[in-house]
């Protein structure tokens, strides 16, 4: 088992490193990339009149003339050891500060959404499985289809329309209190809730068809004992596997939801920075998002190992 965990850690580290490299090189290589931007921003308004000499000076200061891989190593060193992720061209603040400022908002939103999605999805999934082929089941499956197919931003807008504009129950946008959190969290959770509900239902149905459930019934155990002790844990295994992917989808979705609700998180920061060509910020946001995604997947792997004794002692 420990070997397996170790392998997963190595894999996560390698992927992370590859992501760093990929991001860095893309940023620098494509037109409009880092080097050009640095030069541009140093000479704002003066691009035409900047002399060759001045360009050379600036290039030297930012090491823009070194081969890319040296710039990369340099950038890595500064980032990891000094926490220097560059300066934002737009906000004129260190990127790290910006990240730390906006990260809590995204984490709150993501955690609340995940909570709603998991609690709602799992309970509805189990309910639908127990009521297989009855009206409730068909209704839930129909709703799931919608849940997975509706665009997140549309759900957000419709929710705003209903609950903010017409019913005036919650504020339209903003950040600071629970009221502000309700709509964005709910909007973000719909897609994952529907997916989780589906896979919980399928998994539960499959588990209930297993021989050990039949044997548990033959032993004379009561139904709720069979479900709570035998069916539930086994049915949750595939669901846990899927959670990692759902979290990734959620991080992606948060980009849009944060933008719609003007939620001050990493997602909206990313979008704004892309438009503003604030490259160091873009780089950092991507890395943070991917890092979160990989960490969550790693944790999910650990949870799975804990749940399935066949991996632990197998």
Partner 1 sequence: MSYLNVSSVCVDFLTENGSVKAVNDISFEMNKGETFGIIGESGSGKSVITQAILRLLPSNAVVSGKIFFESEDLLSIDNKKMRQIRGREISLIPQNPAGSLNPLLKNKLQVAEVFEVMGVNKKEGIKSVLGMLKNLLMKEPAHILENYPHELSGGMKQRLLAAMCLSYKPSLLVADEPTKGLDSFSKKGTLDLFRHMKREHGNSMLVITHDLDFALEICDRVAVMYAGQIVEIGAVTNVLKNPSHPYTKALLNALPRNGLIPLNGHTPSRINLPEGCLFYTRCNLRSDKCGSERPVTKSNKGVIVRCHLY
Partner 2 sequence: MIGLEITCLQNKSSVFSLKKDGIAGKILNRKDITISILLLALLFVVAISYPLLDFSDPNTIDLTNKNLAPSAENPLGTDYLGRDILNRLAAGTTTSLSIAAGVSAISLFVGIFIGCISGYYGGIIDETFSRIIDIFLSFPGIVFALTIMGFLGSGVINLILALSIVHWAKYARLMRGQVLSIKENEYVLSAKIIGAGNFHIMRKHLIPNSVATVIVLATIDIGHVILSIAALNFLGIGLPSDIPEWGAMLSAGKEFMRTSPYQTIFPGMAITMVVIIFSIIGEGLRDILDPNDTGGEYL
Q: By the criterion CB under 8 A, which residues form the site for partner 1?
A: 210-212, 214-222, 225, 229-230, 233-234, 237, 307-310, 313-314
**Residues 6 or more apart in contact with residue 252 via CB below 8 angstroms:** none
Contact range with partner 2 by CB under 8 A, out of 44-52, 81-89, 148-156, 298-306? 148-156
d(CA 102, CA 224) in angstroms, rounded, equals 45
**Binding test (CB under 8 A) with partner 2, winner from 105, 293, 300, 301:** 293
- Residue closer to partner 2 (CB basis): 31 or 45: 31
Cβ-in-10-Å burial (0-12, 13-18, 19+) of 146 comes to: exposed
Contact between 206 and partner 2 (CB under 8 A)? yes
d(CA 215, CA 310) in angstroms, rounded, equals 20
261, 184 in Cβ contact below 8 A? yes
The three-point CA angle 292-94-262 to 5° equals 60
**CB 262 to partner 2: min, Å:** 12
**CB 241 to partner 1: min, Å:** 15
Please report, as residue ranges, which positions from 15 to 74 form the binding site for partner 2 (by CB under 8 A).
15, 18-19, 22, 26, 30-33
Contact between 259 and partner 2 (CB under 8 A)? yes
**Binding test (CB under 8 A) with partner 2, winner from 86, 294, 300, 301:** 294
Choose among 181, 182, 186: nearest CA to 117. Answer: 186
204 binds, among partner 1, partner 2, none (CB under 5 to 8 A by kind): none
**CB 82 to partner 2: min, Å:** 25
d(CA 254, CA 277) in angstroms, rounded, equals 20
313 binds, among partner 1, partner 2, none (CB under 5 to 8 A by kind): partner 1
Contact between 275 and partner 2 (CB under 8 A)? yes
177, 224 in Cβ contact below 8 A? no
Contact between 286 and partner 2 (CB under 8 A)? yes
**CB 248 to partner 2: min, Å:** 5
286 binds, among partner 2, partner 1, none (CB under 5 to 8 A by kind): partner 2
CA dihedral angle for residue 60, residue 64, residue 66, residue 68, rounded to 10 degrees: 170
Contact between 256 and partner 2 (CB under 8 A)? yes
6 binds, among partner 2, partner 1, none (CB under 5 to 8 A by kind): none
- 232-261 and 95-130 helices, crossing angle to 10°: 140
**Binding test (CB under 8 A) with partner 2, winner from 153, 175, 298, 304:** 153
**Binding test (CB under 8 A) with partner 2, winner from 158, 262, 299, 302:** 158
Q: Which pair of tokens denotes residue 148?
A: 């997975």
d(CA 20, CA 34) in angstroms, rounded, equals 15
């Amino acid at each position: 088992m420990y070997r397996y965990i170790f392998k997963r850690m190595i894999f996560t580290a390698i992927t992370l490193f590859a992501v760093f490299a990929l991001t860095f090189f893309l940023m620098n290589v494509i037109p409009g990339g880092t080097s050009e931007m640095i030069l541009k921003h140093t000479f704002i308004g003066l691009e035409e009149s900047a002399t060759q000499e001045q360009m050379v000076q600036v290039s030297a200061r930012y090491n823009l003339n070194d081969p890319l891989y040296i710039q990369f190593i340099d950038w890595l060193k500064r980032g990891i050891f000094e926490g220097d992720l560059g300066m934002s061209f737009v906000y004129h603040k260190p990127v790290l500060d910006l990240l730390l400022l906006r990260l809590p908002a995204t984490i709150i939103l993501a955690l609340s959404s995940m909570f709603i999605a998991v609690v709602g999805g799992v309970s509805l999934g189990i309910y639908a499985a127990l009521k297989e082929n009855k009206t409730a089941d068909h209704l839930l499956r129909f709703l799931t289809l919608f849940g997975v197919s509706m665009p997140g931003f549309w759900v957000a807008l419709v929710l705003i329309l209903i609950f903010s504009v017409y019913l005036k129950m919650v504020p339209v946008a903003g950040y600071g209190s629970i009221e502000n959190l309700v709509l964005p969290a709910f909007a973000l959770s719909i897609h994952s809730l529907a997916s989780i509900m589906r896979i919980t239902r399928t998994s539960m149905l499959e588990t209930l068809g297993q021989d050990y459930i039949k044997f548990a019934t033959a032993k004379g155990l009561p139904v709720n004992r069979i479900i709570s002790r035998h069916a539930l844990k086994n049915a949750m295994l595939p669901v846990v596997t899927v959670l990692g992917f759902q979290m990734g989808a959620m991080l992606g979705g948060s980009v849009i939801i944060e933008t719609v609700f003007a939620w001050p998180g990493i997602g909206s920061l990313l979008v704004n920075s892309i438009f503003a060509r604030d490259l160091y910020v873009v780089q950092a946001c991507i890395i943070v998002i991917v890092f979160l995604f990989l960490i969550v997947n790693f944790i999910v792997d650990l949870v799975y190992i804990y749940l399935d004794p066949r991996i632990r002692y197998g």
